[in-house]
Chains A and B, each alone.
Chain A
Amino acid sequence: MMRIIHYLNQFFGGIGGEDQAEYPLTVTPGPLGPGRLLADKISDTATIVATIVCGDNTAQYSPEHIKAEIAGLIEQYAADALVAGPAFSSGRYGLACAEAAEAAQFEEIKAVVGMHPDNPGVNLCPADVLIVESGASAVDMMASVMRVSAVLNRLAKNEALSPDELKSCIKRDIRVNVFSAENGAQRAVDMLLAKIHGKSYVSEQLSPHFPRVDPAPPIEVPLSKIALVSTGGLVPKGNPDRLESSDATKWVSYSIAGRASLNPEDFECIHGGIDVTHINNYPNRLIPLDICSEFRAKGLIGALDDEYYVTVGNLTPVARCEQFAIEITAKLREKSVTGVILTSS
């Protein structure tokens, strides 16, 4: 019988909602929550020997630590495979599932995760992980669990997936290094001559296609509330929330209430990818509070959000940035912000 360790977040683990997002990583023998449903569907071939429950924020804020803990538990329970989710469209949960899958890869066992194709966690999963497509919400739980169980049954029996089962897995483009017969320069000249002569050729890299969003409709700025957002890593002196200089795991917001300008005594730039000297000398160069305050006083801007929002774009995976954007936008909506000035290096 294949021994499975199951990863759930605080919500599906029955602990609580958003308020329990900092729940520490815990492990319980046997299946929990949706795991019970899953266990039932794979009972002939596999058992869920343990369930890990972890808060989404806990997983986000210290990924290396969480991965190490999960790896340890995989060993402790002698698991043959790890299942994470289904995370549906829950972005932070999806990112956490990708981390759990990384731990599984480190321990050299198979990993199966379930999430919606648009979940930011999809692109963070290691290459060999099977990502079983789920619907957007827990409404799809039964169907998602059925799809995951079908894949698990195959794995347990060491069988290949059927065409339908393969279709239920999200296919990603994974780049792999290989050695070609000729060097890059020769291939370049050949490709250029082919292109000039109108002959066919195959580009070795293609423009990535990021999903397009419809542009938001215009607003009347003198009647609107504007927020300042930046990927440039400007934080209060001392970096109280320990925002990372690269590969950021969070976004933070800081009060600018009562300020007409960002001064160098109170703020610093911790972006690890650029020379921060000029920004440190005059932080308004990155986040233009001085000008925005001026405009607000003149009535050119209706109102300014009393906080600014910041993360660091340096080497931070696109998937995580997507998730940050979703969360920041939710906060902005709560505060009736309708326009954003987003600045980066």
Chain B
Amino acid sequence: MISAIPPVPEMMGVPRIIPGSSITCVMGNPDFPVSQEKALRRRIVSKALEALETRVKETTYFQAA
């Protein structure tokens, strides 16, 4: 799950959490030029896919760079 407020899914016990950017723009940044924003989104989605491929036992954060 990609969330801008990770403590929320953490409390619910979501096992794979990828912190997003901000509440109004969870996978983006309106201050960035388009290519930079896409690169940010690419990093977040890549982390999400990495999370899907990882065995976890309890809530684990997958922090995109």
Residue-by-residue, is A286-318 near B (CB-CB < 8 Å gives 1, otherwise 0)? 101011101100001100000000000000000
Within 8 A of A (CB), among B1-31: 1-5, 9, 11-13, 15-16, 20, 23-28, 30
Interface pair A343/B20, CB less than 8 Å apart: yes
Within 8 A of B (CB), among A200-215: 207-208, 210-213, 215
A198 adjacent to chain B (CB < 8 Å): no
What count of chain A residues pass the 8 Å CB interface test? 41
| Chain B residues, CB < 8 A from A94 | none
* Interface pick from A39-47, A163-171, A271-279: A271-279
Measured between beta carbons, the chain A residues less than 8 angstroms from B2 are: 341-344
**In the docked arrangement, what's the CA distance between A279 and B26, Å?**
9
Whether A218 contacts B52 by the Cβ 8 Å rule is yes
CA distance A40 to B33 in the complex (A): 72
Q: Judge whether B53 and A221 touch: CB under 8 Å.
A: yes
Q: Could you say which residues of chain A place their CB within 8 Å of the CB of B52?
A: 218-219, 221, 224, 226, 339
CA distance A318 to B44 in the complex (A): 26
In the complex, chain B residues whose CB is within 8 Å of the CB of A274: 23-24
User: Is B41's CB under 8 angstroms from A345's CB?
Assistant: no
A291–B2 Cα distance when bound, in Å, is 14
Nearest CB on B from A171, distance (A): 22
Cα distance A8–B21 when bound, in Å?
A: 46
The complex places the Cα of A299 from the Cα of B27 at a distance, in Å, of 22
A129 to B1 CA separation, bound complex (whole angstroms): 35
Contacts of B4 in A (CB 8 A): 344-345
When the two chains form their complex, are residues B25 and A279 in contact, meaning their CB atoms are under 8 A apart?
A: yes
Among A215, A216, A284, A300, the residue within 8 A (CB) of B41 is A284
Pair B27/A288 contact, Cβ less than 8 Å: yes
Compute how far the CA of A208 lies from the CA of B8 in the bound complex, rounded to whole angstroms: 12
**How far, in Å, is A279 (CB) from chain B's closest CB?**
7
Known: A288-B45, A290-B41. A281 touches B53 (CB 8 A): no
Q: How far is the CA of A291 from the CA of B44 in the complex (A)?
A: 10
Instruction: Note all chain B residues with C-beta closer than 8 A to A211.
Output: 13
Shortest Cβ gap from A301 to chain B (Å) = 7
- Chain A: which residue is nearest B16 at the CB level? A215
In chain A, what residue has the closest Cβ to B45? A291
CB contact list, B32-56 vs A, under 8 A: 37-38, 41-42, 44-46, 48-49, 52-56
CA distance A102 to B41 in the complex (A): 44
Q: Is A220 an interface residue (CB 8 A)?
A: yes
A301 in contact with B41 (CB, 8 Å) = no
Is residue A282 within 8 Å, beta carbon to beta carbon, of the partner chain?
Answer: yes
Chain A 319-333: CB-based contact to B (< 8 A → 1; otherwise 0)? 000000000000000
Contacts of B30 in A (CB 8 A): 278, 281
Chain B residues lying within 8 Å of A295, measured Cβ to Cβ, are: 45-46, 49
Instruction: List, in ascending order, chain A residues with CB within 8 A of B54's CB.
Output: 218
Q: Shortest CB–CB separation between residue A282 and chain B, in angstroms? A: 7
A-B contact pairs, 10 of them (CB 8 A): A208-B11, A215-B15, A218-B52, A288-B41, A288-B44, A290-B41, A300-B49, A341-B48, A341-B49, A342-B1
Further pairs besides A221-B52, A275-B24, A286-B26: 13, Cβ < 8 Å: A210-B12, A226-B49, A232-B26, A279-B24, A284-B27, A285-B26, A290-B38, A290-B41, A291-B41, A341-B2, A341-B45, A341-B49, A343-B1
- State the 6 A-B residue pairs at the shortest beta-carbon distance, nearest first: A215-B15, A285-B28, A278-B25, A342-B1, A291-B45, A339-B52
